[in-house]
Structures are given as structure tokens and as C-alpha cells.
Amino acid sequence: MKIIFTLFLLISMNVFCQDKPNDVGEEQIETAIENSEDAVTDDSYWQNQMFYKKHPLNLNEANENELKELKLLPGPQVESFLRYRQLLGRLISIYELQAIPGWDVSLIKSLLPYVTVANDKNLLANFGSRFYGGSQSLLMRYGKVAEQPKGYQPPATENSNHYLGSRDALFMRYKYNYNNLLQFGIAGDKDAGEQFFKGSQKNGFDFYTVHFFAKDIGKIKLLALGDFTVNMGQGLIQWQSLAFGKSASVLNIKREAQTLRPYNSSGSYNFHRGAGCLIENKHWSLTSFISFRRLSGNIVQEEDDEHISSFQTSGYHRTSAELSDKNSMQQIAGGGSIRYKQYTWHIAANAVLYCFSKEFQKEDRPYNLYALSGKNWGNASVDYSYTYRNMHLFGEMAADKNRKFALVQGLLLSLGARADVAFLYRNISKVYQSLYSNAFTENTMPNNERGFYAGISLKPFSAIRIDAYADAFSFQWPKYLVDAPSHGKEYLVQMTYLPNKRTTFYLLYKSKTRQKSFPSDGNAAKVLTDLPQNNFRIQSSTTVTEKFTLSSRVETIWYDNNGRFKEQGFLMFAQGDFKRSKIFSGNLRLQYFETNGYNSRLYAYESDLLYNYSVPEFFDSGFRYYLNCKLNLASLLKMKKQYDVGCWLKWSQTIYSNKRSIGSGLDVITGNRRSEIKAQIIMEF
């Protein structure tokens, strides 16, 4: 392995291979999946990016919400731009962006594919005319594991646990969009193992979603019908859109998104179904929503009592047991937000309320003592922000129905053209509980946590950027696998080097220490033990020609499992991206990995079908490769400009060196290989 590593590293250092400059979005997704496999199920962010690539946002007409929807501009930069435009009027050229305080070259470069500067004013078509002349798209996606897992084999007996449906995974989405002023559509999703137009799924897909979303209808700024997401404050009481935690984007600590957003993705849990409305004038805005949903939950029968012990968030309904939990409870939700805003500050009051048809009661464990329970729940909060010159202060104070409190307080500060810092303090009661929340915390959900985060981004030279953060956190009450109050710490340093426009090289070091309960020697009682983990990554990139790029990564991990067995992991890959013409493009990756166990597993973001993501976890040892291709049929067939038809195909295979079977439970595959094929077609007209 050392010989392979050395040769690979030499090639990497000489070729500087990576498919593109460091994409922090990919690193953020890797981190999110590492913390929670269900973290990224909403692809609306990528849909939005593709829309603005084809229809660039006019910066002379863009409002605050539209700028935030790009997710490329931090709050202070948005406010700086709006103040600049108010004082000096409409922009004359895209090059004028360099004159905006707080906007540097790297920020402007990231924006350029999605924005334009034009003197034409956006004409708000009357509501009725928006139903004609918009763009339409139809997406169809297919996926299948080539090998047959145990769950798909004929059951030994009629009552044996097995998957009721086929290995095929299907996703379909139709969408109409008129200049982002009006959009509506329908989507359906079938996971592998679920039935399709038979058995329990006589209506076809296991999950359907329908949405209708409109902007700027008189005094109504946003109108959402059907499925939509709600985002408030800093995520302490409600945040359903895509949001990330700690990553190499060390300054991205603030939650920012439209309060209401349309939902049309494959995830079947994290959204509302009903109606929402936002009314806005110059300084005031009022948002309200009402929602009714049937949710899947784990039903527990105890004598005459029936309650729900947890929500089923995966969306899987493949077996008889999973189907018995489907739509097992009803949820009514409602809430709203009232907001007052000036150019440099805002303040808002938010509230949400939930009612359930069945009692919610988690399993009787010490760490669940303060868990959410009952047939109703509610949260309220106040969020705020204030900008003064190069300082941006923001935060949220929240309480649940039991008057238990939570606080998130952040500060973004620019120290000049070459340095920016970020600080965030959180203090969340061990008793505080919430639903559909996602704050900037160590825990997946904001509860039982105190912590302080500090990040810094330095640009000592034009070709070098250094990003670093330190985070210290503690938990006042036991957690899963942690039998007492505990604490931890985390550090990250990343240096990015750009010697020229075609080349990027970065080094990343990350250290994290958490605590876990282990039996002490000769004693049945468990004691808290530190579990340090260290990651080191080298990644490099170059654009060899306009039609070919290369990429590579080398990463190692060291994990100390209570001093009894120290694990190590290693991963490396090389990838080539090619574009023969407007008709055909693709990428090929070759990868090797080797770890001592599951605790030293590693993650790597992969190129995938458009609007889809893939971040596999790798442990044990073996090789992986994939070929991902796109064919533009519209260009191939020389179709009219108003038509666009794209086809994607991906083949991937993982080959393990020392395994006779892969997976566990019903997903066990006999042999040492796991192969998967994915195909997708998108028609736009």
C-alpha cells in the first residue's frame, strides 16, 4: 500500500489533478452525510442553480430573497450590495461588482455563471398570463443494484421477512416554471424493494408530491400550495431547506433562505403539505402557514395503549413491517412569522404548533427522559440581525411549550481585505425540544448542547487562502451510547493554493474528539472515554485542456477506539473529466481504499446524475470505479432551440479484497462485488 501511495502522491503533485477548483459544496455534503445519512434529500438548491445558469439573475432587479436563494452570498455581502445599489443606482457593468465593499474576486467569480447586469426592467406579468409561455421539464430516473441481495430472494416461508417489490428504483418529476414567478409540478418516487402498481402500491409510486408556488401577486409576495418547506430564524424552531454545519467554508455559520420554498424532491418527511402565504410591504412582512400530513411512525402496543415511539424518516416501505408503519399517524401543523426590517437590521417573531393523532412517546431510556412527548407541541422564537460597517451580528432566542430555552448568537467580522472571522455561541437546554429544526450545532437536532465556534479565513497572498475553525462543545445530559454528561472539541485547517487560473491545490487537516461510555477494566460500570479522530487530506486540480481535466485525492484517518484497538484508514482516487463536444461529456474515477474497521470509514463525493448526489462510505479494503456520461440528444438530433433533451448514464462497482459477502440483514450480497447502474433523461421544452 505504501508503494501505491507514494506513486499516487507523486503523480498528484506533478499533475495537480482535480476536476475543478475546490467546490466547498461537495465538502459540505460529505460532512453532512457523515453526520446523518438522511441529511441531504432536498435537491431544490441544485434545481435553483441550474435555473439561474440558463436564466441569469439580473442584479439591477434582484431583491434580498433572490440574492439569498443563490446561496453564494453571505448576509453581510447581500446587505452591502443592496446599500451600494440604493446609493449609486443601477449597475452599469458586471465589472462594477469589484467596487462593492466586502466583495472580493473569488466571491465574484463564483457568482458570474448565475448573474447578469442588464438595464431591462423585469416586467411582472399578470397572474393569468404566467400559465402560458413558461419552461417545462420532465425528469425520469432509474437505478438498480446488479447483484441480488438476500431480501429479494424467494422467502423460505410466507411469513419470512423480505422485500415485496423489485430492485428497481424510480423517480419522476414534471415541472412548469414561468421566470420563477410561477411554478407547479408533480413528482413520484419508488425506492428499491417497494412495490409498483401492485400489492400495497396500487397507485404506482410509494410517494407523491405536488406543489404550486407563485411570487408577486399584488401584495402577496409568496404563495405556496401543496408541498413546501418553512424556514425561520437560525433553525432553532423550524428549518426544512438545505443547510450545512461545520465545514471548510468556515464563515458559513448563518442560516439564510426564503421563509417559504416549493418542495418537489424525493424525500418524504421534511416538508409541510397545505398552504402558506407571505405578505410584504416596504418594511413589514407577515408569513403564515397551515399543514396536514399523514406520517409514518413506529407503533408501540402496550395493553390498551397505542403510541408512536419515533418518526420513520427514511421513506422506505419495502417490507410488511415497514408498510404497517406507513401513514400510521396524522399531523396538523401551523405557524407564522412577523418581521420588521431596515437596511441594516431586522427583528422577527416566529411560532409553530403541532398536533398529533396519536401520543408520541420515545423508548424509556435515560437519554430520552426529556425527549419530546405528548399529542401536541409548540415553539416560539425571536430572531434578529444588525450590520454596522464591517460587523454583522445575528441570532435567535427560542422556547418550547414547556418554557425551556435555546439561544444561538453569531458574529461575522471583516478585518480587512485579507481576513474575515466568524464566531457562534449556542446554549440549548437539555430539556428543550423541537421538530423540523436544523441549527448550527454539533448535534443533529438543536437540544442538550452548549458550545462556542470560532472560524477565520485568511488571504495572506493572492494565490493562498487559509481557512480554519475551532469548536468546543458539551452536553449536559446523557446521549445515545453516552451514559453521562460529556464534552468534545473539533479543529480544522485548510490551505488552498491557486498558482494559476487552471490549477488548485489544497491540504486539509481535521481533528475531532468525542466521548463515549465503555466498561472499565474489572468493573461493570461504564466510564467516559475520549475518542480522538484525525483526518489528513491532499487534493489537487488542473484543467489540462478546455475539454479535459484531471483530479485526485489522498486521505488518511486515525481513530483511537478507547486505546484497545486503534484504527487507520486510507483512501485515494484519480478522476478524469472529458467533454468531446456539446453532445457528449462524462467522467471516469478509479479509487482504492483500506481501513481497519467501520470507525475509520471515509467518505468521497462522486459525480452523479444531474440533481442527484452520491457520497458512499468506504471501510475494509478494495477498489471502486465508475463511469458517468451525459449525451445531449437535442444537439445530436439538431432539434429546435426551445427543446433540450439530455441523457445520463452511470455505472459503478465496488470490489472488496477480503469479503465473501457484503452488507447486512436483507441487503446482504453473496460475493465481493456490488455494482449499480443509474440512468436518467430530462426533457425541457
Per-residue pLDDT tens for 555-565? 999 998 767 77
**pLDDT greater than 90 at residue 384:** yes
Nearest to 358 by CA among 317, 314, 313, 328: 328
Do the domain assignments include residue 207? yes
Do the domain assignments include residue 526? no
User: Residue 152: its pLDDT value, please?
Assistant: 93
Give the whole-number percent of the chain exceeding pLDDT 70: 94
Q: Model confidence over 403-432: pLDDT tens digits?
A: 999 999 999 999 988 899 999 999 999 999
Do the domain assignments include residue 247? yes
Do the domain assignments include residue 665? no
CA dist., res. 227 & res. 243, Å (int) = 19
Domain that holds residue 278: 40-437
Q: Do 407 and 439 meet the contact criterion of CB atoms below 8 Å apart?
A: no
Q: What is the DSSP string of 149-169?
A: -GGGSPPSSTTS----S-S-E
402-416, 542-556, 591-605, 630-644: range with lowest mean pLDDT: 630-644
Average pLDDT for residues 104-128, to the nearest whole number?
81
CA dist., res. 150 & res. 669, Å (int) = 6
Average pLDDT for residues 33-52, to the nearest whole number?
76
Nearest to 23 by CA among 451, 425, 613: 613
Residue 36 confidence class, pLDDT cut points 50, 70, 90: low
**pLDDT greater than 80 at residue 14:** no
Beta-bridged to residue 650, according to DSSP, are 628, 678
User: Residue 123: its pLDDT value, please?
Assistant: 60
**pLDDT greater than 60 at residue 13:** no
Average pLDDT for residues 17-36, to the nearest whole number?
57
Do the domain assignments include residue 505? no
Do the domain assignments include residue 663? no
27-41, 43-57, 502-516, 621-635: range with lowest mean pLDDT: 27-41
User: Residue 338: its pLDDT value, please?
Assistant: 98
Nearest to 442 by CA among 185, 253, 646: 253
Q: What is the DSSP string of 563-630?
A: TTEEEEEEEEEEEEEEE-SSSEEEEEEEEEEEESSGGG-EE--B--STT--B--EE-SEEEEEEEEEE
Q: H-helix or E-strand containing 541? A: strand 526-545
Do the domain assignments include residue 635? no
C-alpha cell at 230: 418553512
Q: Is 233 left (phi over 0), alpha (psi -120 to 50) or beta?
A: left
Average pLDDT of every residue of the chain: 89
Average pLDDT for residues 287-314, to the nearest whole number?
90
Residue 638 confidence class, pLDDT cut points 50, 70, 90: confident
Residue 38 confidence class, pLDDT cut points 50, 70, 90: low
**pLDDT greater than 70 at residue 37:** no
- Looking at the structure of the chain, the number of domains it has is 1
Residue 642: helix, strand or coil by DSSP? coil
**pLDDT greater than 70 at residue 124:** no
Do the domain assignments include residue 365? yes
Residue 203 confidence class, pLDDT cut points 50, 70, 90: very high
**pLDDT greater than 70 at residue 684:** yes
CB atoms within 10 A of CB 44: 18
8-17, 22-31, 311-320, 661-670: range with lowest mean pLDDT: 8-17
